Amino acid sequence: MFQKTLHLATHGEGQIINISSEVDCAVLESGLGSGLVNVFVTGSTAAITTIEYEEGVLADFMRALGVFAPADATYRHNTRWGDGNGRSHVRASLIGPSVTIPFVNGAPMCGTWQQVVLVELDVRQSRERSVVVTVIGDPAE
């Protein structure tokens, strides 16, 4: 097993950061040939997913999240804590904190247009995010 933590500075709600190259590097650093790589963000107002990292798709994705968890809805979390990020928690839960990707010959098996991304969902201006990349598998031959 190999594990690495990525430290990323984000600039606020709606930022989507392509971390595919960092995931690829972690798999290579592991020295493993085939197995699984798990990418997990700590915190409850950010998420990890895969998407085509293209401006139109990214805008469509954020618009869709606004339909499922609109900014103008009443969130009980906001009433209780007064921090205004109830929608951030809901959106992060819908996407999820992690993805697991198989890899072969030291390379993740993502499709041509499939990238691994961190989605910042907190309404605050900026955050420091930790993304844990865990690689498990068989040694390279």
**Amino acid residing at 63:** R
Mean predicted lDDT score pLDDT of the chain = 96
Query: What does the domain layout of the chain look like in residue ranges?
Result: 2-139
How far is CA 132 from each of CA 5, 26, 113, 137, rounded to the nearest angstrom?
Answer: 4, 10, 23, 17
> What homologous superfamily is domain 2-139 in, according to CATH?
YjbQ-like (2.60.120.460)
Q: Tokens for 52, please give them.
A: 């085509």
Q: Are 19 and 39 in contact (CB under 8 A)?
A: yes
Question: Has residue 32 got a pLDDT over 80?
Answer: yes
Dihedral of CA atoms 67, 71, 74, 76 in degrees, nearest 10, equals: 100
pLDDT digit string (tens) for 50-107?
A: 999 999 999 999 999 999 999 999 999 988 888 889 999 999 999 999 999 999 999 9
Question: Has residue 124 got a pLDDT over 80?
Answer: no
CB atoms within 10 A of CB 118: 22
